């Protein structure tokens, strides 16, 4: 079937005369045009009119796609199954999230046993009429009596914390506002909790100022139950270091306040401790256990004055370290091994360790001195999450893979096996499909893993419509996870491919750093190599190959189509970082410089300009059919990235392939998006891809 190519008339995107001046590595001044600077103001009448006009063009195009109605109906069926969250225990009570099917937001439930029966503790669906208020954090006091929960509205990263009594549901405190990138850490006696906050933006919530202004000078606060937020105690701030952030937690024994001091998205952090009980280092103030940003340190447990730390210090794949903060004594417990050490949970017998081998998880129990006791068999290649309380032999796990939804398990240590707590039933038949892992060879010879999900016996004659998805940044690992959305693509004969590129965390910090700063081009080379591998192996052809990525993955898609437009038949760039010269000026964008560098650094300007998607679109080029998606309330990657890229791509497109932008109103970066909106967006993406790619 030939691709869908109706004649399109795009809205006018006026071009201004604005230019910025940069310095390159040779000390030369460089003028760079920014004709769409006006689109950076999300609230201006001109921008709002442009958004409405673009959405009209996109909606008209999508409405004519014959597969759209099918995908909307089928995705509703595929999503409609019970989704049991992984339980956690506090004070003899058990808590979990649960969605019985198609609720816009999952419920928060409580029970006296991990097997239920469960009763409702909080229903976020009643907090807004359109389902756009989402539960983004839930921390229960150690005695299981009080819940601190955080909500976000309209997709914004801003959090509002509230307190609810587990019995009765009363909410005695007023909301705590202007928190961001924060959890809640309770004192052992339940009298209050630590959280992180910023100053309120100059304008109110939902305004352009709140959605675009830079987030700096985070501070760690303590909220005592029953008092107003204006009386909360300032625990830690560093006005002399406005880019430092502070993430606090309390050790399981209540002895320590542990603060991870972070700088942007770098995995390297400082570690400060303050003694909450007794005397010694950190009594009355903070002791800087790690006082610089040379490596990553994550506290996974403690025993008296000894902290157990998961670190990549002198161990790019990770190791477990014991560090006595009083004596300074350090010793390795689980040394660096051949696989990445990704998560450690402290248990009475020692440590449960999750490792990552070729982008899928393994689980093993280790003794107190680090010796390996046994490996715990998992259902298949997939993704594992752990939940447990220090000192408890009861551990909860969640396991998922490409073809199976997340299933919660209970594990009784030391000798128990995985006990399933729920068995989600879907209308999808996984037996008709198979997952294989393959490896492509990148431009410099690097081995790049990829997972291929397809019907059993799928042909290798190049006839498959294929979607290639990847991320490649910030040390984030892509592992096998279940997505109801992708099932609909598979059922229609599509192939799904997930690639593990440099810049991610699949092979430790060395793999991450090999895709950052001046080496960022390695990420794009890896992605292109996987695309070429898929065509060489007969899975697909360029006319049938689509690519997709979100956020940093949206940058990946933008760079791929500007560098190799002929290699792809379609592209979906979601909430992408597409203007690499100005990303640092908005909200938390400055924090990404550890991966990207900054355009005001002459040593990095040339690198950024060389791959910035917005600045590498060329007139007279036939680009693949492209769907850009964003949210007008995205205050992580502000929508101006997508707006400007769409305007310029529409202007320079020389071929007949459509260039569309889908802008979700009251939508953000993606987290907390209501189920109904997720289904609508997924149906539009699949219908778009099926319509514009060649195929039967």
Specify whether 533 is catalytic: no
Tell which phi-psi region holds residue 430, choosing left (phi > 0), alpha (psi between -120 and 50) or beta: alpha
Contact between residue 434 and residue 512 where contact means Cβ atoms under 8 Å apart? no
CA 160 vs CA 168, 175, 517: distances in Å: 21, 6, 35
CA nearest to 414, candidates 472, 479, 347 = 347
CA nearest to 21, candidates 581, 578, 577, 518 = 581
Tokens of 141: 């006091």
**Integer Cα distance of 432 and 676 in angstroms:** 28
Tell me the chain's radius of gyration from C-alpha atoms: 25
Count Cβ atoms below 10 Å from residue 499 Cβ, excluding itself. Answer: 29
Specify whether 380 is catalytic: no
Which positions ≥6 away from 423 have C-beta within 8 Å? Answer: 407
Q: Exposed/middle/buried for 230, CB within 10 Å: 0-12, 13-18, 19+? A: exposed
Residue 342 CA from chain centroid, whole number? 16
The DSSP annotation for 430-497 comes to: GGGEEEEEEEEE-TTS-EEEEEEEEETT---SS---EEEE----TTPPP-----HHHHHHHHTT-EEE
Give the dihedral sign, CA 507/511/512/515: negative
Tell which phi-psi region holds residue 358, choosing left (phi > 0), alpha (psi between -120 and 50) or beta: left
Choose, from 551, 599, 612, 642, the residue flagged as catalytic. 551
**Integer Cα distance of 197 and 192 in angstroms:** 16
Dihedral in degrees, nearest 10, Cα atoms 297, 301, 303, 309: -20
Nearest 5 degrees, angle CA 551-CA 552-CA 553? 85
Scanning 162-311, the segments in alpha helix (DSSP H) are 208-212
What does residue 219 show for φ and ψ, rounded to 5 degrees?
Answer: -135, 150
CA nearest to 467, candidates 691, 690, 696 = 690
**Integer Cα distance of 335 and 370 in angstroms:** 8
Q: List, by residue number, the catalytic residues.
A: 551, 669
């Amino acid at each position: 079937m030939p691709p869908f190519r109706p004649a399109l008339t795009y809205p006018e995107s006026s071009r201004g005369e604005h230019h910025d001046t940069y310095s390159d590595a040779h000390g030369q001044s460089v003028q760079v045009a920014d004709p769409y600077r006006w689109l950076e103001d999300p609230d201006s009448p001109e921008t709002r009119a442009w958004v409405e006009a673009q959405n009209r063009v996109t909606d008209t195009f999508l409405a004519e796609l014959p597969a759209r109605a099918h995908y909307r109906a089928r995705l509703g069926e595929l999503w409609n199954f019970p989704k049991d969250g992984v339980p956690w225990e506090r004070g003899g009570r058990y808590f979990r999230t649960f969605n019985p099917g198609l609720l816009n937001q999952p419920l928060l439930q409580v029970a006296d046993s991990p097997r239920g029966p469960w009763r409702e503790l909080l229903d976020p669906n009643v907090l807004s009429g359109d389902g756009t208020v989402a539960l983004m954090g839930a921390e229960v006091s150690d005695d299981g009596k009080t819940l601190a929960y955080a909500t976000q509205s309209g997709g914004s990263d801003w959090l509002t914390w509230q307190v609810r009594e587990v019995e009765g549901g009363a909410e005695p405190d007023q909301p705590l506002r202007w928190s961001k990138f924060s959890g809640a850490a309770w004192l052992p006696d339940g009298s209050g909790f630590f959280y992180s906050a910023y100053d309120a933006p100059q304008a109110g919530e939902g305004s352009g100022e709140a959605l675009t202004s830079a987030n700096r000078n985070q501070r760690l606060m303590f909220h005592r139950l029953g008092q107003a937020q204006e009386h909360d105690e300032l625990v830690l701030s560093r006005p002399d270091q406005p880019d430092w952030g502070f993430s606090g937690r309390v050790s399981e024994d209540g002895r320590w306040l542990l603060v991870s001091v972070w700088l942007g998205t770098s995995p390297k952090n400082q570690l400060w401790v303050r003694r909450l009980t007794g005397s010694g280092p950190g009594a009355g103030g903070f002791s800087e256990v790690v006082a610089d940003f040379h490596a990553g340190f994550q506290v996974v447990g403690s025993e008296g004055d000894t902290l157990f730390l998961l670190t990549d210090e002198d161990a790019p794949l990770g190791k477990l370290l014991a560090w006595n903060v009083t004596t300074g004594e350090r010793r390795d417990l689980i040394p660096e091994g051949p696989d990445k050490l990704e998560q450690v949970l402290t248990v009475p017998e020692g440590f449960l360790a999750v490792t990552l081998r070729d982008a899928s998880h393994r689980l093993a129990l280790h003794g107190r001195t680090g010796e390996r006791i046994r490996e715990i068999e998992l259902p298949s290649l997939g993704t594992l999450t752990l939940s447990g309380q220090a000192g408890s032999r009861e551990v909860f796990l969640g396991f998922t893979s490409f073809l199976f939804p997340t299933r919660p398990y209970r594990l009784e240590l030391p000798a128990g096996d995985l006990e399933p707590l729920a068995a989600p039933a879907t209308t999808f038949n996984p037996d008709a499909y198979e997952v294989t892992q393959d490896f492509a060879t990148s431009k410099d010879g690097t081995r790049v893993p990829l997972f291929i999900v397809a019907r059993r016996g799928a042909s290798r004659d190049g006839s498959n419509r294929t979607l290639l998805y990847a991320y490649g940044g910030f040390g984030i690992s892509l592992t096998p996870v279940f997505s109801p959305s992708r099932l609909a693509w598979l059922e229609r004969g599509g192939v799904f491919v997930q690639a593990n590129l440099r810049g991610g965390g699949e092979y430790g910090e060395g793999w991450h750093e090999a895709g950052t700063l001046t080496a960022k081009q390695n990420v794009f080379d890896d992605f292109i190599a996987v695309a070429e591998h898929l065509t060489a192996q007969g899975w697909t052809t360029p006319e049938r190959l689509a690519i997709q990525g979100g956020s940093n993955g949206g940058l990946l898609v933008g760079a791929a189509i500007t560098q190799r437009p002929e290699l792809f038949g379609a592209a979906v760039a979601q909430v992408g970082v597409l203007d690499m010269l100005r990303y640092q000026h908005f909200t938390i964008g400055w924090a990404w410089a550890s991966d990207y560098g900054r355009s005001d650094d002459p040593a990095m300007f040339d690198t950024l300009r060389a791959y910035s998607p917005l600045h590498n679109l060329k007139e007279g080029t036939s680009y693949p059919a492209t769907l850009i998606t964003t949210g007008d309330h995205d205050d992580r990657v502000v929508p101006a990235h997508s707006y400007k890229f769409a305007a310029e791509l529409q202007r320079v497109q020389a071929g007949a392939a459509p260039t569309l932008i889908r802008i979700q109103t009251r939508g953000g970066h993606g987290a907390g998006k209501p189920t109904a909106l997720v289904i609508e967006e997924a149906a539009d993406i699949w219908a778009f891809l099926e319509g514009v790619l060649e195929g039967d």
